[in-house]
Structure 1
Amino acid sequence: MGRGPGRSRSLTEAEAFDAMSLMLRGAEPQAVGACLMLMRMKGETAEEIAGFARAAQEALPPLPCTDLDWPSYAAGRTRGLPWFLLSARLIASSGRRVMLHGWNGSDSAVRDGLDTLGISVVRKPGDAAAALDRDGIVYLPLEDLHPALFALLDLRKVFGLRSCVNTVCRMLNPGRAGASVQGVFHPPYRLLQQDAAALMGWRQMTVIKGGGGEFERHPGKIIEGFGLRYGSRWEENLPALVHDSRRLADLHLPSSALLDLWERDEGPDFARQMVLGTAALALRTLGKDDTVDTLWANRHAPRASLAHAAHGIRN
């Protein structure tokens, strides 16, 4: 990558796998910085992201298998409350197993929202299975789930810039879920993540430019969706759900508004449509045709008793 104009090239997927494996094992910091910043300058390729993500996955501890992977790695500067957490909890209430994982820098909105909604934050990966069996949803902080990868992500404080590790974290899929929903802040990354997922053999994936970079659908805008459906590339323009063009951050509400909407269905209709629209897109990613309005009406019923015999511990 650093051999100058005309001689440098991107890494192959195998080379990227080896490079990430070395970085995770503790390569010389000068080499790590050179690699990540050279990649920042030239731009990542799908092969590099796929190789990096495979190596990061391989270094994970054993974890329970899940239905839906939901990464959360946005900085949160342009968004309001994390309404997408209600969408994830709604999917879990239908009997699917949802694994959230992430890190949001100094922004505490997501972690505060998890506490408000009673979504378990699991610090020891070995405790994830019990939380999923009980609630159908769990959140794994990256700093506990994968300390070596977190150390690479946290180099942003040194570089003053994001690196390709942000994208790798979104592609981590620690529960080896059959479906993944991802948000980005910068639109070009939608195709990058789509192509990397195809190289990794994923089947179901949706990636959108979401609220502040999260997988959260603005209900008043046409959304460009990218990803995979049954292993084939998928792209679609999704129509607006309401006539309301306000910014997500315009909803100036305390974190208790999340619980008000979930428990009593009290709050702005704009927020409700954000939750339902995001959940509906997640259901489509799962290949399910459940009516999201019915799920919302039954959200307080006991979780659907689906057979989870196939959900063992992955090696």
Structure 2
Amino acid sequence: MFKQLLRKCMEGVTLSETEAQFVMDEIMGGKATPSQIASLLTVLRFRGETVEEMIGFAKSMRSHSVTIPHTQPGVVDTCGTGGDDLSTFNISTAVALVLSAMGVPVAKHGNRAVSSKSGSADVLEELGIEIQSTPELAAESLKNNQLCFLFAPLYHQSMKHAVAPRKEIGFRTIFNLLGPITNPARAEHQLVGVYNEDFAYKMAQTLKELGTTHTVFATGGEGLDECSITRETTLYDVIGTTITKMTITPEDVGLTRGKVEDIQVNNAQESAEVINQVVRGTANQSAQDIVTLNAAVALYAADRCDSISDGVDEVKKAIQSGIVDKHVTSLQTERRQSQHA
């Protein structure tokens, strides 16, 4: 059956949702060979994935993933697609720290560096913040700290069958788009950075069908998988079954345009240094403002403010008050204590 569906794709025919779900089930179950997986990913990248296919793929991945046992309402995720090749510091991880300090529960989905200089797991280690090793510990941290980190390989173990083909072909695939919409905590609110506007719209359509309370997909004008501080940002605002497209600039929300070079780093250590400065309110203006902007949009997606401009004001106040720095210090202290327990 997999061979027949692969041949169908090769002939330019798209898959139905059911067929796409079957194909991904075969991959997740280890029933497809590495060459078949690589062929499928290549064909899909060449002709483009349909929303119907993405829905089927995502349903399969969700059914094979491990979930965390929590009852926390209003959980947010800030996981993006990565792949913008701009070598910025870990903005979405910094945003997760800011939001959780403000009392917003965040289940941060992420991984180690694949295409970037620093993955979220890498920078959390540099920051000295705990990466929970089990779903139960993640749920406990979410309850106690308003923050947990969901290390993708732990929760998407069936993905191991696609690791080698993905590495061998070496280009971005459908899995870059599926990761952010398969959060193991089933976050109902999300800020998803996407490196390409067309993909952002497809992901918005897909998540609308899968179900979300409020999610915002963001693509920076320079191809950044975050809201941009240097150019305009295209947003797809998904509230229930409604999708609204809008464009914002830093000036629209009371911020100043910055420089890309001020937010770029070479490794996880440099990224951690910038984040430490951001939470203390001492980072360069571009770094400070890009976290403020993205945290504000995430607050809006979490339904914690009426507008992005209001969110900017709230984030600024939180950082200036010292509660974000205090929260990060507390998380660092907790890890040190657990290591010596």
Instruction: Check the 8 A contact 1:53/1:172 in 2, yes or no.
Output: yes
- Residue 27 of structure 1 pairs with residue 50 of structure 2: no
Instruction: Check the 8 A contact 1:90/1:299 in 2, yes or no.
Output: no
- Residue 244 of structure 1 pairs with residue 257 of structure 2: yes
Alignment partner of 1:257 out of 267, 274, 281: 274
Larger RCO (alpha carbons 8 Å, 6+ apart): 1
For 1:153 and 1:209, locate their aligned partners in 2 and report how far apart those are by CA, in whole Å: 26
For 1:93 and 1:102, locate their aligned partners in 2 and report how far apart those are by CA, in whole Å: 19
> Equivalent residue for 2:285?
269
- Specify the SS of the correspondent of 2:183: coil
Q: Deviations over 1:230-288 (max 9, x none)?
A: 331121111223443521566568332321331x3212122111111100000111122
User: 5 Å matches for 1:81-100?
Assistant: 81-100=89-108
> Equivalent residue for 2:13?
9
Instruction: Check the 8 A contact 2:221/2:231 in 1, yes or no.
Output: no
What's the % identity of the aligned pairs? 20
Q: How far apart are 1:192 and its partner, in Å?
A: 0.8
For 1:4 and 1:174, locate their aligned partners in 2 and report how far apart those are by CA, in whole Å: 29
User: 5 Å matches for 1:1-315?
Assistant: 2-3=7-8, 8-29=12-33, 30-65=35-70, 67-75=75-83, 77-103=85-111, 104-105=113-114, 107=116, 109-110=118-119, 111-153=121-163, 155-210=165-220, 215-241=225-251, 242-248=255-261, 251=264, 254=270, 255-262=272-279, 264-289=280-305, 291-300=314-323
For 1:279 and 1:288, locate their aligned partners in 2 and report how far apart those are by CA, in whole Å: 11
TM-score (norm 2): 0.79
For 1:75 and 1:171, locate their aligned partners in 2 and report how far apart those are by CA, in whole Å: 16
Structure 2's unaligned 5+ residue stretches are: 1-5, 306-310, 328-341
Structure 1's unaligned 5+ residue stretches are: 304-315
For 2:143 and 2:247, locate their aligned partners in 1 and report how far apart those are by CA, in whole Å: 36
Q: How far apart are 1:35 and its partner, in Å?
A: 2.4
> Equivalent residue for 2:338?
none
Structure 1 249/271 Cα, relative in aligned 2: closer, same or farther at 3 Å?
closer
Give RMSD over aligned pairs: 2.7
For 2:224 and 2:90, locate their aligned partners in 1 and report how far apart those are by CA, in whole Å: 9
- Specify the SS of the correspondent of 1:225: strand
For 1:34 and 1:18, locate their aligned partners in 2 and report how far apart those are by CA, in whole Å: 16
Question: Which has the larger displacement, 294-303 or 104-113?
Answer: 294-303
Q: Identify, as 1 or 2, the structure richer in helix.
A: 2
One-letter code aligned to 1:93 = A
TM-score (norm 1): 0.85
Tell me how many residue pairs correspond in the alignment: 301
Question: Which has the larger displacement, 65-74 or 273-282?
Answer: 65-74
